[in-house]
Structure 1
Amino acid sequence: MPKILPAAGGDVVEIILADHRWFEEALRELRDVRSDREAVLADLATVLIAHAEAEESKVYPMLRRKDAIDAEEVEHSEHEHDEGNEALLELMEVEDTGSEEFSSKLHELSEALTHHLDEEERDVLNPARTDISDQVRRNLGDTFAEERARLIAEDCGNIANVRKIVKS
């Protein structure tokens, strides 16, 4: 299992892309019946929640202010985070990680997350690359990494918090 990525600063696009590749590896691990699915899921929940919450509070508002993305794109991305969080919670609530139900809920999470990563990389990160200066992307990367690290330290991926996020 990939370890939770440290909260290093730098270009926000590169940091987000590194998280996306980490999510894909975690999903592969969850599909492997030999892996420690409970541990992998706990790590995935923590990073996924921290990542999405930091994007929504730090990245999207800055990209919106800089006119790299519009309000509709922000709303769409946040809606996809909501869908992913709901699928994550449903997977976390499955008691038997070896069950068909776990496999089915994992498929739903994988579909939602893969769809979001693809759209975000095309419709949010590409404009960030072209419309935002290197310095702003570095500053935003530092801000994103700090917020992500703070949320991870608070155990943001625990099931009670995921439930609270899904209900809000």
Structure 2
Amino acid sequence: MPKILPATGGDVVEVILADHRWFEEALRELRDVESDRAAVLADLATVLIAHAEAEETKVYPALQRKNAIDAEEVEHSEHEHDEGNDALLDLMEVEDTASEEFSEKLHELSEALTHHLDEEERDVLNPARTDVSDETRHTLGGVFADERARLIGSGCGDIKNVRKLVKKAHAG
């Protein structure tokens, strides 16, 4: 089972990509009927929520200020985070991890998450590589890692918090 990676800073692009690869590994673990699906899902929920919230509060605004991404890209990425949170909550609410329903909801989460990772790597991280200085990316990597760690420590992946985030997103 992939253990929660401590984000230690460095280039924000590389820190985010490390989480993306971790998400892919966690999804593979969740597909395995012999894995501890409940434990993997709990870790995935924690890292996914912390990652998205840290991006929205620390990374996207900084990249927008540097003109690496525009408001439309920020809005699109935040919308995809909301869609991922919906799919995550649907999966978390399935009681039987060995059920067909769990497999179906896992597929929906996997589709939403994979789509988002692909778009973010192309449309957010590539401009960050080319339009933002190394120094700024390293500073931002530390800020992102600190916020991610704070959120993980707060228990952000708890189902009650995920429900609250989903409700907030649906309220507009």
TM range (shorter): over 0.9
Q: Which amino acid aligns with 1:13?
A: V
Partner of 1:44: 44
Partner of 1:160: 160
Aligned ranges 1:105-144 → 2 under 5 Å: 105-144=105-144
Q: Which amino acid aligns with 1:52?
A: A
Partner of 2:70: 70
**Unaligned runs of at least 5 residues, structure 2:** none
Deviations 1:42-70 (A, max 9, x none): 00000000000000000000000000000
Q: Which amino acid aligns with 1:21?
A: R
Output the CA distance in 2 between the equivalents of 1:157 and 1:123.
26
Deviations 1:93-128 (A, max 9, x none): 000000000000000000000000000000000000
TM-fit CA distance, 1:7: 2.4
Output the CA distance in 2 between the equivalents of 1:57 and 1:165.
14
Output the CA distance in 1 between the equivalents of 2:124 and 2:92.
28
Output the CA distance in 2 between the equivalents of 1:30 and 1:7.
22
Partner of 2:85: 85
**Unaligned runs of at least 5 residues, structure 1:** none
Q: Which amino acid aligns with 1:146?
A: D
Output the CA distance in 1 between the equivalents of 2:119 and 2:79.
12
| TM, length-normalised to structure 1 | 1.00
Output the CA distance in 2 between the equivalents of 1:132 and 1:112.
28
Output the CA distance in 2 between the equivalents of 1:167 and 1:150.
22
Match of 1:7, SS state, is coil
Moved over 4 A (4+): none
Output the CA distance in 1 between the equivalents of 2:9 and 2:60.
17
| TM, length-normalised to structure 2 | 0.97
Partner of 1:35: 35
Match of 1:80, SS state, is helix
Match of 1:74, SS state, is helix
Output the CA distance in 2 between the equivalents of 1:119 and 1:56.
15
Identity %: 84
Output the CA distance in 2 between the equivalents of 1:7 and 1:30.
22
Partner of 2:19: 19
